[in-house]
Amino acid sequence: MIDALNHLPRPGAGSDQLAEHFSDLVPPLTARQAAVESARCLYCYDAPCINACPSDIDIPSFIHRISDENLEGAAERILSANILGGSCARVCPTEILCEQACVRNNAQECAPVLIGQLQRYALDNAQFSGHPFQRSVATGKRIAVVGAGPAGLSCAHRLAMHGHDVVIFEASEKPGGLNEYGIARYKLVDDFAQREVAFLLGIGGIEIRYNQRLGSNLRLGDLRDQYDAVFLGLGLSAVRQLGLPDEQAPGLLAATDYIRELRQADDLSRLPLADRCLVIGAGNTAIDMAVQMSRLGARDVNLVYRRGAPDMGATGHEQAIAKANQVRLHSWARPDAVLLSDDGNVRGMRFARTAMVDGRLGDTGETFELAADAIFKAIGQRLEEQSLADPVAAQLARDGERIRVDECMQTSLPGVYAGGDCTALGQDLTVQAVQHGKVAAQAIHAQLMLNVEAA
């Protein structure tokens, strides 16, 4: 249980009712709906949707196969580009990627082709007799992958396809990374993250070792010595701070901590509930936190952002979900002080009104207060500094807080690659992390085979 919220009550609704509140955000397509929707695709020769897909899925090709009722062929086409295509179909912001680029997304059409839902339909309904990909002849090479999140899993699978043996070192007790611990429960239901990992591991040649944390019981220097290459898919596990007094008071904690607890809970009725809830932030994590608190039964949920709504990291689609779940969005306000009750628990927060002054964000001099039983920080995450504290890891070049990589995902250290949120590339999306892992695996394989030929 989350110690910072132990003083709060539990939801009034029962476990069965709450489970209904966290059912699929978007119900899957029926066979008839998939047939009708796939027929809308024009199978463009220069399909802009492919260019908009970070993982390079041949979208017209897989949709054409759905239209021909060849679901196995459609699924294989998706998975050959994105082995985590099932989770990406559920969590990917298609409204700003492939579906935004769809040629049917214009004033003369009613809507773009529902690419994400068609992708999910194909992968959910394909009936493979075995794993659709086979390992190449064993190369005798061993690669260490740090992190069993989307980037690490994608890298490991692609390396295994090439015949390499892979050992994944995972800090948590389960694989999946963000898909397992950080995505809203209503986006990935029915333990889908674990089922997808089990499918991925079906190719063979991949071992996962749990409770292995870089910078604690794992050192980059040792991995370089013991393996032929290393891939770092560390994610961003450290939470940014507000920098205010009383930030450690009971009732104030990171949104990611609560989401993690919620996703792992067998009985949602046992979670602490803030009747009046404040979420600080503007990204998808902030939206996920606010919506889930509302679905648990919070009466008053407010999300506060220091800039204007157009600057929010969360897409318009995500903001609409928040509003549909009675979340109030406040813009142009920054946290100014944590307000405490007589017994030292959070009772609210004072905010300073903000505005753009001479091109820079500044205060207007006005303040206001919002009451809250709990405050959740969703102001971004950063790399855990301890993970790169050993002498070898400390040599990694950085771009700010993140690891610097080239177009092949190679770091400044030979034989060490990185991908996902711990690098400065992309928009911290699951689908981009998958692509990073795939690109890195291709680069690692090419380098290892070049070394073999040279020898």
Q: Is residue 208 situated within a structural domain?
A: yes
- Whole-angstrom distance, CA of residue 149 vs CA of residue 193: 10
Given 92, 125, 158, the domain boundary residue is: 125
* Single residue among 344, 379, 414 that ends a domain in this structure: 379
Inform me whether the pLDDT recorded for 425 exceeds 80. Answer: no
Count how many domains the chain has: 3
CA distance 352 to 337: 9
**Same domain, yes or no: 38 and 112:** yes
**Phi-psi domain of 180 (left: phi exceeds 0; alpha: psi -120 through 50; beta: other):** alpha
CA distances (Å), 386 to each of 116, 162, 214, 390, in order? 38, 33, 8, 8
Residue 318 predicted with pLDDT over 60:
yes
Task: Give the pLDDT band of residue 146 (cuts 50, 70, 90).
Answer: very high
- Does 20 map to a domain? no
**Is 214's pLDDT higher than 80?**
yes
The predicted structure's pLDDT at residue 383: 87
Contact present, 339 and 347 (Cβ < 8 Å): yes
CA 83/CA 201 separation, integer angstroms: 11
Do residues 77 and 134 touch, judged by C-beta distance below 8 A? no
Is residue 246 a part of any domain in this protein?
A: yes
19 found inside a domain: no
pLDDT at residue 451 above 80?
no
Does one domain contain both 81 and 190?
no
Is the per-residue pLDDT at 455 higher than 60?
no
The confidence band for 450, taking pLDDT boundaries of 50, 70 and 90, is confident
Please tell me whether residues 387 and 420 are part of one structural domain: yes
**Which has more confidence, 292 or 450?**
292
Could you tell me if 409 and 415 are in contact, meaning their C-beta atoms sit under 8 angstroms apart? no
At residue 454, the pLDDT reads 61
* Mean of pLDDT over the chain: 94
Residues of the domain holding 91? 31-125
Of 188, 200, 327, nearest in space to 264 by CA: 188
Helix residue ranges, H only, 298-367: 316-324
pLDDT digits (tens, 9 = 90+) for 15-65: 999 999 999 999 999 999 999 999 999 999 899 999 999 999 999 999 999
Classify strands 402-403 and 398-399 as parallel, antiparallel or unpaired.
Answer: antiparallel
Q: Does 86 share its domain with 49?
A: yes
CA–CA gap between residue 306 and residue 111 (Å, rounded): 33
For residues 318 and 243, membership in a common domain is answered with: yes
Mean predicted confidence (pLDDT) in 308-323: 93
d(C-alpha 431, C-alpha 425), whole Å: 12
Which of 340, 363, 379 is a domain's end point?
Answer: 379
Rg (Cα) of the chain, in Å, rounded? 23
Q: What would the two tokens of residue 68 be? A: 């021909």
Residue 267 is part of a domain; what is its CATH number?
3.50.50.60
- CA-CA-CA-CA torsion for 82, 88, 90, 91, nearest 10 degrees? 180
The answer on 373 and 246 residing in a single domain is yes
Q: For residue 261, what are the contacts with CB-CB under 8 A and spacing of at least 6?
A: 1, 2, 271
Residues 6+ apart with CB under 8 A from 368: 333, 350, 351, 353
Nearest to 408 by CA among 450, 453, 454: 450
- Reported pTM: 0.95
- Integer Cα distance of 209 and 204 in angstroms: 15
pLDDT at 453 over 70: no
What pLDDT was estimated at residue 424?
Answer: 82
User: What span, in angstroms and rounded, lies between the C-alpha atoms of 275 and 138?
Assistant: 57
Q: Let me know if residue 227 belongs to a domain.
A: yes
Instruction: Say which amino acid occupies 384.
Output: E
Do 396 and 434 belong to one domain? yes
Domain check: are 271 and 333 in the same one? yes
Looking at residue 78, which CATH number applies to its domain? 1.10.1060.10
Beta bridge partners of 335: 351
Per-residue pLDDT tens over the stretch 186-210: 999 999 999 999 999 999 999 999 9
Task: Count the Cβ atoms, other than its own, within 10 Å of residue 412.
Answer: 13
Residues 260 and 304 in one domain: yes
User: Residue 285's closest CA among 260, 309, 320, 267?
Assistant: 260
pLDDT at 10: 94
Give the range among 158-162, 330-334, 335-339, 399-403 with minimum mean pLDDT. Answer: 399-403
